[in-house]
Structure formats: C-alpha cells, structure tokens
Structure 1
C-alpha cells in the first residue's frame, strides 16, 4: 500500500472517561511499566483496517498487523462507560473483541455510527486536521 502521512489534533474526553483517555495519552507519549517488557507507543504503527465510508482502525502496538493490543493497565482493561455517543465523524473509540477487552487499538469514524454505542468506549474526537484522516475514506 501507499504511505499516507498527515497531522491532526485529538481532543480527549478525560472528564467523562478518564481511564480510557489516560491509556490513550500514555501510549501516545510512550509507556513502559517498570523495567519489564517493551515500551508501548503508537509511533511507527499502522492503520491496519479500513471500512470504506465508515472507519479506519489503528493502534496495534505489539504485533503491528491488527492482531495485537495492550494497555497501560495490563493486557486489557474494562469498558469504563458509554456516555460518549458515536454521533459524528471524527469520534475516536476503543476497538475491542467484546465486553471489557480494551487495549491499544482504536478507530476513527468517518460518519455517525450510533449502533456502536454501548459496545465501544468513545474517548476522543479529531478537533483539527480531519482532512488528514478523511483521505482513508476513498481507499
């Protein structure tokens, strides 16, 4: 595939979902628990899944192909709450494999997707530079 690079700014809903926002921010900055294991970081990771006109999924910090995930709290952490709705393009939400399986993977919506409410914890929104993400819509 092609190499798409761009800059965008994410606003986190830290007041509503503090643990989820802390996990994402920690991995953005680079997180290492003590002296054990590798540093968790989104740097040089790929967006491994695109659902046309729907979402782009990124954030496999362990394996890199979409099958791995890890959080700053351990392998996974529980769903914090579902107070933020998947109500518009630019919403960022935790990708998971079912209830209470959040790690490092996340997705960014290209459109409203309210059917994801109560299934995925939304924790942020693109507040600047959405055009950098929207390029994935046509892939």
Structure 2
C-alpha cells in the first residue's frame, strides 16, 4: 500500500509534542491533537537529517491552487505560536495545515473546512524550510 505522507523526524517530534500538549488540554472541539497523532502514525518517518524534496514540512512554503481555478495561492506552514495569517504563516493545526503536512508537490488533496465543505487543492510547488521565520520549538 502506497503511503501518501512523508514527515521528517524533526517534524514528527515537533508535531508529537504539539499533539501531546493539545491532548492534555482536552479541548472538546475539533481535537487537532488526535488528528496530528493520526497523521504521524500513518506517515513515513524519515531518518534524522533526511528530507525528501517536494514534500510539505513545517516552515516550508507551498504554492497551491483550488482545483478548477487558475488562482495561485502561497502560504507557509508553521507551528501554532508562529502563525500570522496576514503574513501567510498558517498554523499546522488549521484544516489546510493538517491537510498539507507531509504531502507531495503535484498532489491533489482534500481540505475539510469548518463549514463542513470540502475543498480540493492542487499542490503546485513546495519550497524548503524558510530559515528567516523561526525555530522548530514549542514554547
């Protein structure tokens, strides 16, 4: 069976810490902690210091387009504490962040929006970690 997600070991560790924190908080709403654990457990985890080109990681910048549209959008997936939607720094805990993590460029994915709608997106390009943004650490 082909696995559709691939995470770096650093991303898996960071996402695990975030999930553990969320589960301890016990938020009743959509529990992103459980979703993160599901993503981690069903992903290929790469060895230390190995990163596959073209896969969405924390702090990578993604160009994507809604399926059926010519509009190109760009965002960077970040840890929750670094999120700033005005700068297109989107938390990994948002529906689009959860849908994109570990996915490969040129894939088409489905994003479950809070409005119970599903939006299909085509990942056009994944640019590696943007070191100008921040550290991969939970405060």
Q: Same fold (TM over 0.5)?
A: no
TM-score w.r.t. length of structure 2: 0.30
More helix per residue: 2
TM-score w.r.t. length of structure 1: 0.30
More strand per residue: 2
